[in-house]
Amino acid sequence: MKDQQKNRKTSKANELKQMRFGLKIGAGDLEIKLRKIRKFLEAGHKVRIQLFFRGREMAHKELGFEMIDRIIAQLEDEVVVEQKPQMAGRNLSIVVRRK
């Protein structure tokens, strides 16, 4: 019983964290969110990066994929893309983990 509790305490490290981006995010805000993602990765978490589309933005999904590519390009030396970009409703998401 005690061993199971200890295991549960220690297994929390590989949690899936999530960071959400709007399509029209500013450069400064993007930097801050990327810094936060790097902190999560250093702590050993996987991170789901989620891009959400509002209203008419759905007509320009290619902009979302470009944004995801730009985010991955800025993190490429530190991350491995675990789940390719995929649309789910109004969200485009990928999962990354540390190299």
Structural domain containing residue 41: 15-98
| CA distance linking residue 79 with residue 72, whole number of Å | 8
The verdict on residue 40 lying in a domain is yes
Rounded alpha-carbon distances, angstroms, from residue 19 to 6, 24, 51: 29, 15, 9
Share of the chain above pLDDT 90, in %: 81
Order of strands across the sheet that contains 16-22: 16-22, 46-52, 91-98, 79-88
Count of domains observed in the chain: 1
Q: What is the pLDDT of residues 19-34, one digit of tens each?
A: 999 999 999 999 999 9
Specify the 3-state DSSP secondary structure of 93: strand
Query: Considering the entire predicted model, what is its pTM?
Result: 0.81
What mean pLDDT, rounded, does the chain reach? 90
| CA distance linking residue 60 with residue 40, whole number of Å | 30
Q: What is the pLDDT of residues 38-69, one digit of tens each?
A: 999 999 999 999 999 999 999 999 999 999 99
CATH number of the domain enclosing 46: 3.30.110.10
Whether residue 7 is predicted with pLDDT greater than 70 in this model: the reply is no
The verdict on residue 61 lying in a domain is yes
- Residue bearing the bigger pLDDT, 62 or 5: 62
